[in-house]
Amino acid sequence: MKTDKKFYTYIILTVDNTLYCGYTDNPAARFEKHKAGLAARYTRSHKPLKMVYVKEFDTKSAAMKEECRIKSLTRQQKEELIQSSCSVTV
């Protein structure tokens, strides 16, 4: 059975200028959870400023693989990825 549900890999810029990467099926709702301190432990102590990167995938597995790949990048490579994409601010 085919589903139209999409999954997303995202990067959040925090107030202390760090980058947090994750995946979700609803980027806007997930960002609100991060802002409320209800998502990841990391973003409880590193408050989210804005979502700077979002990429859509057809499967959860693909989004998770991209998250893992992004987490292995250097800060400079992540910044280049953000710059080269059609960035989304949520």
Residue 44 lies in a domain: yes
**Residue 63, helix vs strand vs coil:** helix
CA neighbours closer than 13 Å in the CB half-sphere of residue 66: 21
pLDDT at 2: 61
Number of domains in the chain: 1
What are the CA-CA distances from residue 16 to residues 5, 24, 43, 48, 53 (Å)? 33, 23, 11, 9, 17
Residue 26 lies in a domain: yes
pLDDT for residue 88 is more than 70: no
pLDDT in tens, 12-61: 999 999 999 999 999 999 999 999 999 999 999 999 999 999 999 999 99
pLDDT at 55: 96
* Structural domain boundaries, residue 38: 7-84
pLDDT for residue 87 is more than 60: no
Residue 32 lies in a domain: yes
Residue 38 lies in a domain: yes
pLDDT for residue 77 is more than 60: yes
Burial class (CB in 10 A: 0-12, 13-18, 19+), 87: middle
The overall pTM is greater than 0.95: no
CA quadruple 76, 79, 12, 45: dihedral sign? positive
